[in-house]
Every structure is written in structure tokens, then in C-alpha cells.
Amino acid sequence: MFDIDVHSLAVCLSHVVLGVSTSVCHSLLWSNLNQGPSVIITQDSGELGALSSPSCTSGKWRLRGPPLLFRAMEKMSRVTTALGSSAISGRTMFCHLDAPANAISVCRDATQVVVAGRNIFKIYGLEEEQFVEKLNLRVGRKPSLNFSCADVMWHQMEENLLATAATNGAVVTWNLGKPSRNKQDQLFTEHKRTVNKVCFHPTEVYMLLSGSQDGYMKCFDLRKKESVSTFSGQSESVRDVQFSMKDYFTFAASFENGNVQLWDIRRPDRYERMFTAHTGPVFCCDWHPDDRGWLATGGRDKMVKVWDMTTNRAKEIYCVQTIASVARVKWRPERKWHLATCSMMVDHNIYVWDVRRPFIPFATFEEHKDVTTGIVWRHQHDPYFLLSGSKDSTLYQHMFKDASRPVDRANPEGLCFGLFGDLAFAAKESLISGDANRKPYPGGDRRYPIFFFKKPDLTEQFAHVSSALSVFESSLESRRMDWFVKTARLYLLSGKPFAELCDHNAKVAKELNRPQVSTTWTMLRIMFSDPANLSTPGPNHIGKLGTLPLMNSFSMKEMGTESRLDRSKGESRQDNIHLEPGNSLINSNNDENEETEGSEGQAEYMFGDAELDDDDLYSMEHDNQAAEEQEYTLPQEAFPLRHEIMDNPSAPEHLQQDKADSPHASGNEAEVTCLTPIESFSLISISQPLFSPHLPVHFFCPVVREMLSHYAEQGDVQMAVSVLIVLGDRIRKEIDDLTQEHWYMSYIDLLQRFELWNVSNEVIKLSTCSAITCLNQTSTTLHVNCSNCKRPMSNRGWICDRCHQCASVCAVCHHVVKGLFVWCQGCSHGGHLEHVMNWLKSSSHCPAGCGHLWEPAFRESFAKLGERSIAVEDQHQDLGGTMEEHSLSPQKGQPPTPSNHSHQQAFQLSNQNCCVVY
């Protein structure tokens, strides 16, 4: 589910409330990562909390994968859009530009801002209440492409100096001190492609750096006519270049292929350091204004990462996941952990993040109507003013106090049901504090260091919400999900005749104390069995009918005998399979009987609600008064639906009776029917002379369909799917494909949560929905490395192309393994599944003679495997299923490791120490 290092799990006893942390709890999720149930909590602080019942330690871990936090983010953004923000105060101001802006920059004293775009290049003065246009630099009758700016930068030392990067590859400098209207100073046309970024040196007046689409960075000395040095990234286009704030000679460059390079300005021949920061282009980077080694990067992969560059290898220390590709990133002045981002597509907001709490933005500015293209903090030492330009042709000054704070609107409550019926509930501490049983969480509220330097300002802190988590363990037997697991394991869905399956499943249900389900199975068998087989259930029913009209009940024992009988008739029913067509013909002949039956009235069975009755029997009443008005005896809790399901249940018995004289029946069939005990005929005919003798199978379909829907709606999708599979073609057409797919999906999902991989795979295989069966055909490729040379194996699994050795040799028989290969993750030795299993019976050491004592967990899992006696199938498409229930042993060395080949289908074998070589 997640990539989590589980070290320890936090405590929670039944009905004890714990304070979890000081940050907002976003969502809860139950997980059964390990033996016991545990709760996972996502917090916006970037941590996952976990609680589990059995152990008594506490812990937190960082969440690496995005799924949860992403959900939280989206929720958040929904909230934001829903509430909107119209609070533009006096000093949050904007002005309309004539054209979309591409970039903005402020001068050093924060009084003026320059806006550049394809069709705009202007300087605005920042006044108290408004923007005032100061200067239009776009002069001339026919503006050339040199005016079409991709980027602009105002020199931070020299207030008259500006530089722009033009889309046609020119780098232009502008001197505002020039007396003429045209302020253009220098023009460098050395780049062959669009220049994406220009950057002045923070302290050196004449040094300008540019990065271009052609993959080169050039350093210009403004006193000279051409560049002084050229840096070749040796890779793709340069998207951003930034001089380090603190190191005089260093600059960082980000590239379209995801790399970030560090250069020394004195050494144009080679970069100092390179690392891959993102997948896909890195659009922007920014050095931390105070912290020497920190570099923030933003990429198309929607992430903002903060790197610590002081160490030998660039280390990712923070990561913020946003909802759209990150176009610009700017550290917030005077706030160590804050940075502002805007995105390139789709999302128009500007976010300010506290990198330590990456799941929810610290503040959001939502004024722009189109993509924000440029953001800049107005003053180097003032964190309260943010300027932004946008494609919607507006220039904004945002006041920090007017920003919306998503955290205030985030819902701090979370509620989640566990797999086994437990309930976790997290809420603001204040809401729960009244709880008597509460024990304070030892962690307390001390997690937040003071991260502002000057004055403690409450608006500058993340909302301080303490959440408390309560876990309610379910003690009620009825709420537990054991029955689900057991049922799933024990049900038979295929491989035997229909009636036997039904009987078996009925028995299973019965033993699990679910009489209603059990009855349903029995009824299904009765309804849908081939007429010929009705001979076997016969006696049972005769018993029932014979004692009518008394309330009757039959016990499991009877059913047991019945199923045995059934089996003994196995051969004869085989013979009848080919009679199906004839059968249906008969059925169609019987249509008129249906009609008569409706008016005449016949047997009615009533069933109590199984869940409520403690008895293991079901009550049944046979309304024998034919031709009279029907009389329904409803138990108190009965559902009408269920009642209908059981309508006319004994009808199929009479099919056989008719069969003998059916013109379509073959001789074979007739013979079989003769086996039917004669009493059954007579009894039935005596007791119900008007009972419709034969009902077509499809007569029951509407009823069964309703029953299935009912079960599914009640939450027992297991029943719905099992019946669907067992009945197969009998019912399939009655239920529309989408519903079926939905049921299958839900059931498979449930099975997988309970780690019942085998069952889920069986269900997938048996399903007839194409959408489901294809689940087994995805992710069927597993890339392996050779165990000798550790290189990826290209073609066939067992011979390495490079070292020409057999890669996977069985340590027991020394033959090449084709098929299931099992290995110990401790010593990397392994072999044929059966061989290893046999070996483990006698020894616990590695058969290769390396002296390694095979992992206990590994052995255990094999013990389990042995019990289950899995039919190992050689089709690798069934891999997902057969690889189940291996141990949770920590991943150490594994000889054929799934390689990180680029097109590797993510083959999620979370706990595998088993692999198939094919």
C-alpha cells in the first residue's frame, strides 16, 4: 500500500483516547500491515501516525508515496474553490496589463516592478494604493522579437540595469539611465534557441548568466560585447539558472531532462556536481536566501523538492506535492521553511508552503483567473508582500494577511472503519477532552520549534490543532469480519457439479452461523439444479412436505446426507449435461404453468431474518391451502425481498415429474428420472394437486436477481459474487454487466484487503466480465537481474545473455528452474518450490551449503504454503495469485531482483520472496 518503514507501531487500547499530535489529522486509514490491526493517520505535517492495538510502542513515519496526501490536497483545493475569496483589502491591489505577462521582477528598493511578456514590457511604480505605469520599454513601430520576453531580471545592485531573455534567443540588457526613449543597451545573440532564464550575479555588477533551450549557459560580462564563458550542460535544454546567494562562484542550473547541475563560474569545462531531481523537466530552482546549502526545485512532476547541497551527495530533505506542474518557486524572505510556488497549467493559485508540513499549503492567494507566470517577493527582507503577474493580464500585489489559510478550513475530524469492524475516530482535542478514559499522549505539543525569528506573530504560525484519536474496538461477535474470511476461504466456487457447490456452500454458511445465507444456497440448488438430480434432494423435501402443514425444520445433518447422496449420483448427472437444450425447451413449454400458478397459489416458505435468530434452523411454513387466498406469515424482521426470493421454492422438483412425458426428453433422461423415489411423486401430487409441475429455470431469475441485489446492498457482496459465479450462465444475463463488474470489483477489493490473494485470484479467473478477467493480464511482466552478474536479464529468464550462465539454479537439485523460483532473501539461494519445501522439512539450513540459517519467517511461510497446497499454475498470468502470503521478512539480498528497467510494469509483490522465471 505504501512504502513505509515500519519500525514500531503506536499504542492504542480499546476505548482509550490518545492525543496524536499537534497537527491536523486529515484522514484515517486502517491498515493491517502487520499482524494486528493498526490505524494510519495522515497529518499535514508530513507524517503518518500509526496506532495499533497489540503492541505498546509509539511511532511515526514519513509518508513517501503521495496517495493519501494527494487526497488531502485535493480535498483542500475543493474547499478553497468552494469558499472562494473575495476579501481584497485596501492594499492587496492589482492593475490590468495590456497583455499576458511572462515574468516580473522588482528593483532593489521595492518601489518598482517590471513586467515582461510577449507583447508587454513595462515598469510600474508601487504606490500605497495602486500601481502606476512608469515606463514602457517596448518602443519602436515594429517591435522586434527581442522584445518578446521569456524572462526578466532587475539587477539587485544597480537600479538602472535590467536584463531580458527573448524567445528568439537574444539576451538583452536595458539601461534605464539612458536619455533616449529606447533604453536598450546591449544585445547578445549567441544562443541559438529560446533563452529561458537570465540571472544577474547577486553582488557582481557586470556579470549576467543566461540559460537557453539549446542546452548552453552563457556568462556575459556587460562591459564586453560577447560572452566570457559558455557552459555546456551536455544534456537537454536549460530551464533555469540561479546564482547562489552565498557562494560567490556557484550557480545552479536545472534541465528539461530532470537534472540539476552545479557549476563553478570559473570552470566552464565541467560541472561540479549533477543529480537527478525530478522526473521530467525541472522548471525552476531557487537558493535559500539564508541557508547556504538549500536549493528548492520545482518540476513538471508536480513536486517541489528541497535539497541539502552541503553534503557529499545532494540530499532531498523536504518534498512538497502540489496539484499541478510547478512553474516558479521562491523562498519567502525571513521565513526559513516557507516558499511560494505557482504552477504552469490548470491551477491558477499561488501557494505558500511550510516545507515541513507539505500536505496543506500554509497560505493561498487565489486572485488570478489564469495561470500565474511570475511571482516575486517585493522586498528581500519583507515576508508580507508578494507580487505576481499572470496570463490573465493582471499584476497583483498580495498582502500576506489577506491570504486564505486552507488549514483553517480543513476538516480536522476523521473517521474510519477498520477491516475487522473497529472504528477509529480522530477529532480536535477540545471536542474529545471530556472523555473520562482519556490518557494524554506522551508526545505532547512540543513538536514545533519556534520558526520565526523576530516577533511571535500568531498569523505566521500554522494553525495549532491538536487532534485526539479514539479507537473503538469492536467486541460484538456479529460485527467482526471473521465470517467473511472464513467464508471466502471455504466456499467452493467451481470444480464440482452445481448442486454440490451449493450444498457445500450452504454447509459452510451454516457452520458459520449464517442460516439465512445457508438457506439461500440450498434454495438456489433446488431452483436451478438439473431436474435429473432432483432425485437426491427428493427425500429431504418429501420429509418437509410430508409433515406439512406443521412448521418444520431440517438440520445440517440432513443436508449432509443429502450432499453425499448427491455425490453418489455424480455419474448420472454428468450424463445429463448435454440435455441442457432439451431442458430449456421443456421449460419454455411450461410457460403457461407459470401463469396458472400465479393465480392458483401454492407453497410459500417464510424465513426469519437469519442474523437475528440465534437458532441454527430456519422456519418454514408451507401454505397448503391451494386455491385459497395466499397467506403470508411474516416473521417480525423479515424483509419483503427475501420473502420473494423464496417464492415457489419447491417447484423444480416437479420438473422431473413432467420430464418423463416431455416429448423432448431423451431416453437417457427418462431413465434417470425413474430413479426418483416414487413417494415423492405421490406425496407432492397428493398434497398439491394444483401445483404447477414444472417451472423453467429462468422463471426464478428475477427473484434471484433481486436477491443478489439485496445481498449486495446489505453489504454482503461476497454472497452476491459467489452466487453469481456458481450460477454462472443461469443468471449472468439477468444482471447488467456494470453491476456485475461493480460487485466483482468490490469483492476483489475486500479480498485483497484481507490478503486473501488466492481467493481473489480465483474470483478473477472465474468471473466472466472482461473488465475483471483482464485484471489478471495486467502487470504480468517481471524483470529480473541475473544472479551472477547482476545485470538485467533481457530475453529468457534462465540464461543470462552476458555471462552465459544459468541464472536460477535450484540449490537442491542443481537444475535450472523454469517456473516458480523461491529464494531466501537472506542468502539469495533458492530453487524449485517443491524441492525447497521438501528440504525445509528436514533442515533449516540453506541447501547450498552456505551455512545460512534460512529466515524463520521464510520457513513459516512455506509451512503455510504446504498446508494450503496451492495448485501452482505455470501460467505466469496467475502470478499475482500464487504469490500469496509470504512472510514479511525484511528485504535483503534477492538474486533475481526486479530491476528498475524503464518500462517495467510495476509488479507489486509487496512481500514476496518468490519469483517466477519464465
Partner 1 sequence: MKHATAATETIENNSFTVTDLFKICTHCERLSKKDLGVRIPRSLGNGPSRFIPEKEILQVSKVDPRTQSIFEDAFAALGRLDNISLVMGFHPQYLESFLRTQHYLLQMDGPLSLHYRHYIGIMAAARHQCSYLVNLHVNDFLQVGGDSKWLNGLDGAPQKLQALGELNKILAHRPWLLTKAHIEHLLKAEEHSWSLAELIHAVVLLTNYHSLASFTFGCGITPEIHSNGGHTFRPPSLSQYCVCDIANGNGHGHLEERRGNHQVSEVSGEVEVLMERMKQLQECRDEEEASQEEMATRFEREKTESMLVATAEDEECVPSRDVSRHFEDPSYGYKDFSRRGEHVPTFRVQDYSWEDHGYSLVNRLYPDVGQLLDEKFQMAYNLTYNTMAMHKDVDTSMLRRAIWNYIHCMFGIRYDDYDYGEINQLLDRSFKVYIKTMVCSPEKTTKRMYESFWRQFQHSEKVHVNLLLMEARMQAELLYALRAITRYMT
Residues that bind partner 1 in the complex, under the rule CB under 8 A: 118, 142, 144-146, 148, 150, 166-169, 189, 191-194, 213, 256, 280-281, 283, 300, 324-325, 344-346, 348, 369-371, 391-392, 778, 795, 903
Minimum distance of partner 1 from residue 282's CB (angstroms):
12
* 401/796 with CB nearer partner 1: 796
Rounded to a whole number of angstroms, the minimum distance from the CB of residue 145 to partner 1 is: 5
Tell me the three cell numbers of residue 826: 537472506
Query: For residues 701 and 716, what is the distance between their CA atoms, to the nearest angstrom?
Result: 19
Cβ 118 to partner 1 shortest distance, Å: 6
The H or E element containing residue 482 is helix 482-490
Q: Is 714 or 905 the residue whose CB approaches partner 1 more closely?
A: 905
Q: Please, which residue, 752 or 780, has the CB nearer to partner 1?
A: 780
- Smaller CB separation from partner 1, 284 or 386: 284
Task: Give min distance, CB of 794 to partner 1, in A.
Answer: 8
Minimum CB distance to partner 1 smaller for 77 or for 148: 148
- Minimum distance from residue 52 beta carbon to partner 1 (Å): 33
Candidates 720, 774, 782; CA nearest to 746 is 720
Which cell is 508 given?
459452510
Contact 671, 581 (CB under 8 A): no
**Apex CA 366: angle with CA 360 and CA 368, to 5°?**
140
Q: Which of 285, 371, 386 is nearest to 101 (CA)?
A: 371
Closest CA to 431 of 17, 16, 15, 12: 17
| Residue 843 CB coordination number (10 Å) | 11
Contacts of 682 (CB under 8 A, 6+ apart): none
- Report the nearest approach of partner 1 to the CB of residue 720 (Å): 24
Residue whose CB is less far from partner 1, 140 or 866: 140
Q: What is the closest distance, in whole angstroms, from the C-beta atom of residue 774 to partner 1 in the complex? A: 9
Which one, 142 or 446, has the nearer CB to partner 1? 142
Q: Identify which of 265, 159, 130 has the alpha carbon closest to the alpha carbon of residue 207.
A: 265
Q: From CA 661, how far away is CA 670, in angstroms rounded?
A: 8
Q: Which is nearer to partner 1, 25 or 104 (CB)?
A: 104
Residue 652 C-alpha cell reads as: 423444480
* Smallest gap from residue 689 Cβ to partner 1 (A): 49
Q: Give the chain's end-to-end CA distance (angstroms, integer).
A: 27
Q: How far apart are CA 515 and CA 506, in angstroms?
A: 8
The interaxial angle of helices 833-842 and 856-868, nearest 10 deg, is 110
* Residue 284 in grid coordinates: 525552476
Looking at beta carbons only, is 482 or 874 nearer to partner 1?
874
**839 alpha carbon, distance to own chain's centre:** 39
**102 vs 583 by CB, closer to partner 1:** 102
| Pairwise CA distance, residues 286 & 307, whole Å | 10
Q: Of the two residues 193 and 753, which places its CB atom closer to partner 1 in the complex?
A: 193
Q: How far is the CB of 614 from partner 1 (least distance, A)?
A: 47
The answer to whether the Cα torsion of 513, 519, 524, 526 is positive or negative is positive
* CA pair distance 229, 132, nearest whole angstrom: 39
| CB neighbourhood size of 522 (10 A) | 24
Using the minimum distance from each CB to partner 1, give the nearer residue, 304 or 506. Answer: 304
For residues 758-797, one letter each, b for 16 or more C-beta atoms within 10 angstroms of the residue's C-beta and e for the rest, the string is: bbbbbbbbbbebeebeebbeebbebbbbbbeeeebbeeeb
**Per-position DSSP letters for 843-867, written without gaps between them:** -SB-TTSS-PBPPHHHHHHHHHHHH
